[in-house]
């Protein structure tokens, strides 16, 4: 039997807004954080996204024709 692992990002005030990422996301980004997320994704056999997340990413991924930072590449 396989595991089901759920991951969620949440904020203390309940607001998770892509338009304000410069305030709550980018200041806390790090190589360690990126590698932690990448390892979690690479360990998955499948990923289930919510509708809004899927719709936000659906237009992004098809345009990644030369992805030098692919999911299997560690961040330096």
Higher-pLDDT residue of 52 and 1 is 52
| Domain spans, the chain | 19-61
CA distance readout (Å), 57 to 3, 13, 16, 18, 34: 25, 24, 16, 12, 17
CA dist 75 and 13 (Å) reads: 31
Q: Which residues contact 34 (CB under 8 A, 6 or more apart)?
A: 75
pLDDT, tens digit (0-9, with 9 covering 90-100), for 33-69: 888 888 888 888 888 888 988 888 888 877 777 666 5
Cα 8 to the center of its chain, rounded Å: 10
For residue 10 the two structure tokens come to: 């949440």
């Amino acid at each position: 039997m396989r595991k089901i692992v759920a991951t969620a990002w949440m904020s203390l005030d309940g607001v998770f807004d892509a338009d304000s990422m410069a305030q709550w996301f980018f200041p806390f980004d790090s190589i360690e954080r990126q590698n932690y997320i990448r390892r979690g994704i690479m360990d998955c056999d499948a990923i289930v996204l919510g509708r809004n997340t899927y719709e936000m990413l659906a237009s992004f991924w098809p345009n990644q024709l030369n992805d030098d930072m692919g999911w299997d590449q560690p961040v330096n």
